[in-house]
Amino acid sequence: MYPKIIVPVDGSEISYKALDTALFFSEKLGSNITAIHVMEDIPVTNIESQKLLNDMLEISAVCKRQGENILSKCSESARNRDLNVNTVLLKGNPASIILDFCKNGKYDLIIMGNRGIGKVKEIILGSVSSKILHNSTCPILLIK
């Protein structure tokens, strides 16, 4: 059951908790786990100010480093339990990228947080989890 599980990770505590749950599934069911992080696109076209353009490119590089760090933490968590996790770093609209990746890779289960790094603490579902919940054809386990 659930041979291929995907875990979208944004660096929030809940998303790491989702990874822990996936690792538990891996331990018990032998599921193959893929952790995915999506860097948001920064629009760098049509900017006339060279300084602004440089700043944006710098932000883009920082986001890439951050994404790589998030995924290394996932690998480390798996290693600490003698398990394995595949890591994928992509760029674009997080929900759309995750939905496409999940469909193309024929994943059986998505395990993700109900919230993420967003600042509005009152809402129960973030925009990424909400869009995935509405559009995914595969089952989803939402971690709180």
Q: List residues near Mg ion by CB under 5 A.
A: 116, 118, 126
Is 91 in a helix, a strand, or coil?
strand
Position 118 contacts ligand ATP (CB under 6 A): yes
Residues belonging to the chain: 144
Q: How far is the CB of 67 from ligand ATP (least distance, A)?
A: 8
Q: Indicate the residue among 52 and 117 with the shorter CB distance to ligand ATP.
A: 117
Q: Which does 9 bind (CB under 5 to 8 A by kind): ligand ATP, Mg ion, none?
A: ligand ATP
Cβ burial, residue 122 (10 Å; 0-12/13-18/19+): exposed
Binding mask 27-66 for ligand ATP (x = CB under 6 A): ---------xxx----------------------------
Cβ burial, residue 11 (10 Å; 0-12/13-18/19+): middle
